[in-house]
Amino acid sequence: MPSPASGDARRAARHGTGRTALPMAYVLPLRWHTDAGLDELTGYLRRLSGLVDVIVVDGSPPELFARHAAAWRPLLRHLPPDRARRGLNGKVVGVHTGVGVARHEHVVIADDDVRYDEAGLHAVHRLLDRVDLVRPQNYFDPLPWHAWWDTGRTLLNRALGDDYPGTLAVRRSTFLAMGGYDPDVLFENLELIRTVRAHGGVEATPPWLYVRRLPPDAAHFRGQRVRQAYDDLAQPARLLAALAVLPALATAVASRRPRLLLGMTASVVALAEAGRRRAAGATVFPPTTTLAAPLWLLERGFCSWLALTQRLLRGGVRYGDTRIRTPAHRHEVPAILHFLLRQKPR
């Protein structure tokens, strides 16, 4: 028997004219506990609705859901997550709901702090003609201290490979053919990327496709430090590198060789600068952001030990009202990490 929410989803899918500049859907899963950013987001959705078919899958409490419905009804399709779906990660459930009712083959999936412009949407649309998944590059604007700090991570990722943004774009047919992706993982974007790859899909990671992102408030940023470090448990090479940071620092300090410490710091800054300059990145990443890279790396080295401890002793990391054990699925795991990560919590 179909769930009530499934009926709600079908009724909501009938709203909207579908007359947009691009034959593309934009799925925004959200769950808010405060409407502090409602006016700003509504302004963005109003601009967006003239370009693409916007679908907001809203898991907010009833009073906020009703307020959102009143604000967005003329602009987009607004619906609750499908109650027939279950999963620890509510965002993934929202994505499945939104992609399921989308009317177009090309689908953008974006967090509520992502701000596409028209050029970015057109670029994604063109790329999806040739690939199954597109991974753009986010940058923060404005740039308060904590966004500056986190940009150090972005620059190092760009220098060593590709960054993980708050938005992806996917072909709907590919998404449906592979049955979506696991809703019980923490690092949902990596899980979607790996699932597409596992099903033979082609991914594009254009480092030049810059999409603006609003920074979180400082309290939210602080609350996510260990949780973001936990994501590295799905990427053993990154985890081992992060776990080595504090021992390397302790060795440099104990050796009483300040030049060694200075050289290590300079190397990290130089690496971040290479990431900043890649694909004209200097147009969106200010020069001072390279100085954040050593600070971010030191933080990640500390938080990675805390994340590993939470995995071993508590069985996972806190996510909302639950605890998630699996950051993302991976088949090849070094033997020692395979042993450590399979240990039951005490």
Q: What is the pLDDT of residues 200-236, one digit of tens each?
A: 999 999 999 999 999 999 999 999 999 999 999 999 9
Residue 256: band (very low, low, confident or very high) from pLDDT cuts 50, 70, 90: confident
For residue 192, count other CB atoms closer than 10 A to its CB: 24
Fold of 4-213: Spore Coat Polysaccharide Biosynthesis Protein SpsA; Chain A (3.90.550)
Res 14: pLDDT: 38
pLDDT tens for each residue of 266-317: 999 999 999 999 999 999 999 999 999 999 999 999 999 999 999 999 999 9
Residue 19: band (very low, low, confident or very high) from pLDDT cuts 50, 70, 90: low
Res 177: pLDDT: 97
Res 18: pLDDT: 47
Residue 16: band (very low, low, confident or very high) from pLDDT cuts 50, 70, 90: very low
pLDDT tens for each residue of 82-107: 999 999 999 999 999 999 999 999 99
Residue 5: band (very low, low, confident or very high) from pLDDT cuts 50, 70, 90: very low
At residue 1, does pLDDT exceed 60?
no
Res 319: pLDDT: 87
Q: How far apart, in whole angstroms, are the C-alpha atoms of residue 213 and residue 94?
A: 20
For the chain, residues classed under CATH 3.90.550.10 are 4-213
At residue 340, does pLDDT exceed 50?
no
Res 255: pLDDT: 86
Residue 237: band (very low, low, confident or very high) from pLDDT cuts 50, 70, 90: very high
Res 87: pLDDT: 94
Res 320: pLDDT: 80
At residue 3, does pLDDT exceed 50?
no
Q: Which residue has the higher pLDDT, 339 or 108?
A: 108
pLDDT tens for each residue of 119-159: 999 999 999 999 999 999 999 999 999 999 999 999 999 99
At residue 339, does pLDDT exceed 90?
no
> In percent, how much of the chain has pLDDT > 90?
83
